[in-house]
Structures are given as C-alpha cells and as structure tokens.
Amino acid sequence: MSDTEQPPDTATGVPARAVLLVVNTRRETAREVAEQFSSAFCAHDIVVRVLEEDAEELAFCREGLVEVVPASPHSSAGCEVVVVIGGDGTILRAAEHARESGTPLLGINLGHVGFLAEADPEDVDRTIEAIIERRYDADERLTVDVSVFRDKELVATTWALNEASVEKAARQRMLEVVVEVDGRPLSRWGCDGVVCSTPTGSTAYNFSAGGPIVWPEVQALLIVPISAHALFARPMVVAPTSVLAVEVIADTDGAGVLWCDGRRTVELPPGARIEVRRGHAPVLLARLHEAPFTDRLVAKFELPVSGWRGSAERRRRAASDA
C-alpha cells in the first residue's frame, strides 16, 4: 500500500477517503474557512485530519469529528489531498508534511500575492465540490536538496521548494563567498548573500533579489547574488542536473546562515559549504483548472495588458460583432 492509499473501511471494504487540513490559525478567516471544509468533508464521509499544532486553535477539532495527527514529513500519508488555508507561507509549511508522501497541495489564498495558491475565499464552495468529486489535476514542482559541510564533514541536510539562500549573519558585516557550479569555481563575491532558486521560487526571494521569472514547467536552477560588490554579479540559470555550491571563505570576518524557504535554518561559520542539487522528490500542487502561467503572472502582479490585440481577443470581438 502506497503512502497516499487509505486502508479499506472494514464495513464496506471500500478505501476510506482522507484529507489533511493545514491552516494559518492566526487568521480568523482561515479558521472559519477550515471549519467550512471540515463540515463538508465529514458530511461526505471523508476523514478530516488536522496537525496537532493547528488543532489547538481550531474549535471544531474539539468536537471529536476530526483526526489530530503529529507534524512530520509523513503527516499526509494516506490522504488524497492537503487543503492549505492561508498564504504562500502556509503552503511552504504544508509542503514539509506532503513532499515525502507525494500528496498534492491545494491552497486557498488568504495571504497577499498567493502565487502558489489555487483558489480564493470566494471559491470555497466550488473547491469543496471539486475535491469531493476528485476534479483536479496535479503539477510537479522541482525542489532542491541541500547538504551542509563543515571541515569537509556533512553536518546537516535539508531541502527547499522555493529557494536555499546563504545570507550574512550580521548586518554590519559583508559575506565573502565563492560560488561553484558542477565542481568548477564560478566567482568570488563580497555580498549580502546568494539565492539558489527553483523555477517555482523565481517569483519569491529570487524575484525580490533581481532574478528572472522562470515558467514553472522549465527545468532549471537559478543563482542570484544579493548586493554583490563585483562587476560580474548577474543572475544565472543553469541545468537542473547541475550541482551548485556556495562556500563561506575561511578567512572572512563574517559568518553566514542558510535559509530554506525562509523556514529551515543552519548556521554557516567561516569555511562552511553548502551544496544544492535537484531534489529527490517534487512537491505536487493541485490545479482545479488549466490556466497559463502567463495569465497567473498578469493577475497576481496586476500587469498592464490593455491594448493587446491577440488572436483570442480578436475572436471574441468578432463574435460580439456578429
């Protein structure tokens, strides 16, 4: 039995259905939407699971109708989907509980931009119906696995969906690093940090650091220096099979820190090294409908497109004139 399969119901022999809810419990609206999802799923005999860390703040969990599960990389095992109610930060938290099980994440955006989310609060009823009827697909998103070395000894491993960034630990100190691609030195920079991003993360920290937006279906890794004191300090795109390395210069005065998705952190003293490579497993994002990434980009950033006279627009106008 795979991680995403539920054991059969002993009475009917039909596999029980289960959904994991991950909620930004700091938002009252998120708590209300979570209760709406829970009530609808329970009414359709779908098992609702909630993480222990969220259940304490959700009143409906005290009614004994949901399963409370510990937070772990396998929290979503046996679930057909993880419904994430919050912003992109909540989706990144949910990914920690879904990647290993291969369970798709379906985000309800209650944050700001919400690039990873699929639906808005006004879409809740349609989203519930789609999940109950299993009317959704899933996109695979490339991740990165990260290894941390000190004195050539592996001291930590972690991963990221958006980015792994090496940043200076102290504001008053510049970070001295040397960057390597596939075992060959690329450049030494005095900088505030270096972002190693996935295409999914290209609209996150990478975007703020001046990196390019990369369509999510593109298989690639991105390197973006942050405020580097160098003539050659441009964002770069490399093959998805490449291994990136960032090493804190041994004789530098400042230490660094590794951040993965802004959530997982490892200290990097002088001489420390990180290696970033394509992750062993993707993260799955559930999609309720086909929407070109271009349209998502325009909608999320409210890009001006007035005056565009593309083929679809011409067909629409022709139909209205007929």
Q: Which residues are catalytic?
A: 88
6 pLDDT band (50/70/90 cuts)?
low
Indicate whether 25 pLDDT > 60: yes
Q: With respect to residue 313, please indicate whether it lies within any of the assigned structural domains.
A: no
Q: Which residues are annotated as a binding site for NAD(+)?
A: 88-89, 93, 162-163, 173, 192, 203-208
pTM as predicted: 0.90
Place of tokens 């309800």: 108
Separation between Cα atoms, residue 291 and residue 108, nearest integer Å: 16
The residue among 20, 30, 84 whose CA lies nearest residue 57 is 30
Give yes or no: residues 155 and 218 share one domain: yes
Strand partners, 257: 167, 267
319 pLDDT band (50/70/90 cuts)?
low
Separation between Cα atoms, residue 48 and residue 63, nearest integer Å: 12
Q: With respect to residue 39, please indicate whether it lies within any of the assigned structural domains.
A: yes
Give yes or no: residues 204 and 219 share one domain: yes
User: In this predicted model, which residue has the larger pLDDT, 309 or 260?
Assistant: 260
CATH number of domain containing 92: 3.40.50.10330
Q: Which residues are annotated as a binding site?
A: 88-89, 93, 162-163, 173, 192, 203-208
Separation between Cα atoms, residue 69 and residue 285, nearest integer Å: 22
The answer to whether the CB of 136 falls within 8 A of the CB of 81 is yes
Domain limits for position 198: 144-278
Domain count for the chain, please give it.
Answer: 2
Beta-sheet strand order (sheet of 67-69): 67-69, 46-51, 17-23, 81-86, 105-109, 283-287, 137-141
Give yes or no: residues 201 and 223 share one domain: yes
For the chain, what's the residue count? 322
User: In this predicted model, which residue has the larger pLDDT, 170 or 19?
Assistant: 19
HSE of 71, CA atoms in CB hemisphere, 13 A? 13
The answer to whether the CB of 241 falls within 8 A of the CB of 278 is yes
Give yes or no: residues 114 and 211 share one domain: no
Task: Taking residues 246-260, report their average pLDDT.
Answer: 94
Task: Taking residues 104-132, report their average pLDDT.
Answer: 93
